Chain A
Amino acid sequence: MELIKDINKKVLDWLDERYDARQWIRENLTEKLVHKHINWLYCFGGLSFLGFLLQIGTGIFLMMYYIPTPKDALASVQNIANNIPFGWLFQRLHSIGANVVNLLVMFHMLRVLYHGAYKKPREFQWVSGVFLLLITMAMSFTGYLLPWTQLSYWGATIGTEMPGATPIVGEWLVQLIRGGVQITGITLTRFYAIHVVVLPLTLIGFLGIHFLMIRKVGISGPM
């Protein structure tokens, strides 16, 4: 115990000398003051972020065994869920977690709406939040196709059919999203790339803006 304390102190001293670590910890963690009115309703934003981190973690593990081809996609998901040790855990955490994250994001948004927290000076907080909601939903939609089941196939068919109602460019838009006239293996790899690279990176970018702004402006005051 004494040894751990000693090492702890030395590390902190070292960091302190260079980066004012203790002061940073005091200001941002141990002595950070928040409004007295803060209650559990204010947790949904942080919980959404926690859920997102969990999705990243479990998603990376799933990627290690998932095969994004029409021939192997379903079999590889079944292999993860049935054969790989604890694969069921990561697969279910990821698919159920996606629903939970959507719920948490909605609750977070409802809280902000109810408290009027989107008003000046936090308008862009709301705007970036709307983008985050859209990206979260796009994440769910693209991820839904990946197991390549009947449900995912027809779900993706219906979902990608909808932009077809856009005037003039509708038809072209549908084919652009699908990478063809119908949902095929090209759609699968396309959705996979969007799901694991494009959307997460975009999401992290918007999260950065979202967080930096709230640090600057502070959490909204009492109603």
Chain B
Amino acid sequence: MSMSIKTVKDASDSKRGFLKLLFLSVMTVSFGGVIYPIIRYLSPLSQQQASEKIEILKDEVPDGKAKFFTYKGNPAVVIHTKTGFTALSAVCTHLGCIVKWLEDKNEFQCPCHAGRFDITGKVLSGPPPKPLPQIAVAESGAKIVIG
């Protein structure tokens, strides 16, 4: 007698367990079906990069001047020095502000916390912990190829 009761109980337990599992799976799938589109919708679009390389006319960057552009989605700068062209990331390594080029002092300054960088991106003074990363530059005819 007690055996049969136990068997019945077990059966109903496994049925309940199965239904619980089924319910939880349906809930999970439904929840995911709502959350997934929302996360995709809110995620920034992958930047459309026609090519990794950027071409700039040499005439656009006269001696001593700097030109700012976007490289892989981030601000970058190319400067024309006596030794040629140098390209650097224009994002300050301290807290991400965009540095500006001071032509008369021949250095970069970050307007946020007065970090200073020299022409090669090395930190001169202020809070930045690291130099500005360099970006490869090549000259080809009347153009500068960056990247």
Contacts and interface: CB of A to CB of B under 8 A. Distances in A.
B40 A86 contact: yes
21 contacts: A61-B38, A61-B41, A61-B42, A64-B42, A83-B45, A84-B41, A84-B45, A85-B37, A85-B40, A85-B41, A85-B43, A85-B45, A86-B37, A86-B38, A86-B40, A86-B41, A87-B41, A89-B37, A89-B41, A90-B37, A90-B41
Contacts of B37: 85-86, 89-90
A84 to B, nearest CB: 6
Contacts of A86: 37-38, 40-41
B135 to A, nearest CB: 29
Interface residues of A, number: 9
Interface string B20-49: 000000000000000001101111010000
Interface residues of B, number: 7
Interface in B109-131: none
Interface of A: 61, 64, 83-87, 89-90
Contacts of A89: 37, 41
Main SS at interface, chain B: helix
The 4 closest A-B pairs by CB, nearest first: A86-B37, A85-B40, A86-B41, A86-B40
A120 to B, nearest CB: 42
Contacts of A85: 37, 40-41, 43, 45
B76 to A, nearest CB: 26
A83 B45 CA distance: 9
Given A61-B38, A61-B41, A61-B42, 12 more contacts: A84-B41, A84-B45, A85-B37, A85-B40, A85-B41, A86-B37, A86-B40, A87-B41, A89-B37, A89-B41, A90-B37, A90-B41
A90 B38 CA distance: 9
Interface string B69-89: 000000000000000000000
Nearest to B37: A86
Nearest to A1: B20
Contacts of B41: 61, 84-87, 89-90
Contacts of B43: 85
B32 to A, nearest CB: 13
Nearest to A83: B45
B133 to A, nearest CB: 30
Interface string B92-110: 0000000000000000000
A157 B52 CA distance: 49
A84 B37 CA distance: 11
A86 B38 CA distance: 8
A193 to B, nearest CB: 24
A85 B41 CA distance: 5
A85 B40 CA distance: 6
B74 to A, nearest CB: 22
Nearest to B24: A1
Nearest to A93: B37
Contacts of B40: 85-86
A87 B45 CA distance: 12
Which of B41, B42, B43, B45 is the most central at the interface, judged by chain A CB atoms within 10 Å of its CB? B41
Nearest to A90: B41
Contacts of B45: 83-85
A221 to B, nearest CB: 35
A84 B40 CA distance: 8
